[in-house]
């Protein structure tokens, strides 16, 4: 097998694996009265981006979103279908695309102490997108929506992004041994 074919096959397998990991960690949900459950999705998406990079991380999370859109119950609470994307939590799901992309950019940053920072920018964009969609759906002002569905999750999500970065350092070393 040619080296490029082998590398591409490994990347496809890893992208599919991270799609599955995201689907599984999405089911570890604690319901809240605001229709936005506490999940490990943020961790899974950040881990995917930090580990696979921009191209393959984005492919993996896009596959996750497309699977959910066509009805596969991969979203939190074993939900699936386009209605989820246009419901209360849909903005956060769309925001995962920003999160995975910015986490993936860590691969091009040379300073090892700054590599994790883009993930926090992605997290901010994810929360902004999710808050705005929630506010529109429930006909609320953005600030009250933020205080209701974003602010309570920020510390958990920031810790998730940091933990995902740290775990990705180890995971990348393991993947390099395979390649």
Convert the pLDDT of each residue in 142-154 to its tens digit. Answer: 999 999 999 999 9
Q: How far apart are CA 54 and CA 10, in angstroms?
A: 16
Higher pLDDT, 110 or 125: 125
> What DSSP string describes 2-55?
-HHHHHHHHHHHHHHHHHHHHHHHHT--B--TTS--B-SHHHHHHHHHHHHHHH
Hey, CA dihedral for 111, 112, 113, 116, is it positive or negative?
Answer: positive
Question: Are the CB atoms for 99 and 46 separated by under 8 Å?
Answer: yes
Range of the domain at 7: 3-178
CATH number at residue 103: 1.10.1760.20
Note the pLDDT tens digit of each residue in 28-52: 888 878 777 788 999 999 999 999 9
Closest CA to 149 of 58, 1, 33: 33
Q: Which tokens go with 159?
A: 């810790």
Q: Is the pLDDT of residue 1 over 70?
A: no
> What DSSP string describes 97-115?
HHHHHHHHGGGG---TTTT
Hey, CA dihedral for 161, 167, 173, 177, is it positive or negative?
Answer: negative
How many domains does the chain fold into? 1
* pLDDT for res 2: 78
* pLDDT for res 30: 83
* pLDDT for res 86: 96
Q: What is the mean pLDDT of residues 80-107?
A: 96
* pLDDT for res 85: 96
Helix or strand (DSSP H, E) at 144: helix 142-149
Question: Are the CB atoms for 158 and 139 separated by under 8 Å?
Answer: no
10 Å Cβ neighbour count for 8? 12
pLDDT band per the 50, 70, 90 thresholds, residue 126: very high
* pLDDT for res 122: 98
pLDDT band per the 50, 70, 90 thresholds, residue 80: very high
Helix or strand (DSSP H, E) at 122: helix 117-137
Tell the residue number behind the tokens 């999750």, with chain if given.
153
pLDDT band per the 50, 70, 90 thresholds, residue 171: very high
Q: What is the mean pLDDT of residues 65-72?
A: 98
* pLDDT for res 127: 98
Confidence (pTM): 0.93
Question: Are the CB atoms for 126 and 95 separated by under 8 Å?
Answer: yes
Q: Is the pLDDT of residue 100 over 60?
A: yes
> What's the chain's average pLDDT?
94
* pLDDT for res 65: 98
């Amino acid at each position: 097998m040619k080296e490029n074919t082998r590398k591409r096959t490994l990347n496809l397998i890893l992208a599919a694996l991270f799609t599955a990991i995201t689907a599984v960690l999405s089911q570890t949900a604690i319901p809240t009265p605001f229709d936005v459950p506490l999940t490990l999705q943020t961790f899974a998406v950040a881990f995917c981006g930090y580990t696979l990079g921009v191209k393959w991380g984005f492919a993996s999370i896009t596959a996750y979103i497309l699977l959910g859109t066509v009805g596969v119950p991969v979203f939190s609470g074993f939900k699936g279908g386009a209605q989820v994307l246009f419901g209360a939590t849909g903005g956060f799901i769309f925001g995962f695309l920003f999160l995975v992309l910015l986490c993936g950019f860590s691969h091009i940053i040379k300073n090892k102490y700054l590599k994790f920072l883009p993930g926090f920018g992605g997290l901010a964009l994810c929360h902004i997108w999710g808050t705005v969609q929630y506010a529109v759906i429930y006909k609320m002002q953005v600030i009250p929506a933020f205080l209701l569905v974003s602010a309570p999750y920020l510390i958990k999500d920031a810790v998730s992004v940091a933990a995902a970065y740290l775990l990705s350092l180890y995971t990348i070393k393991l993947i390099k041994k395979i390649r």
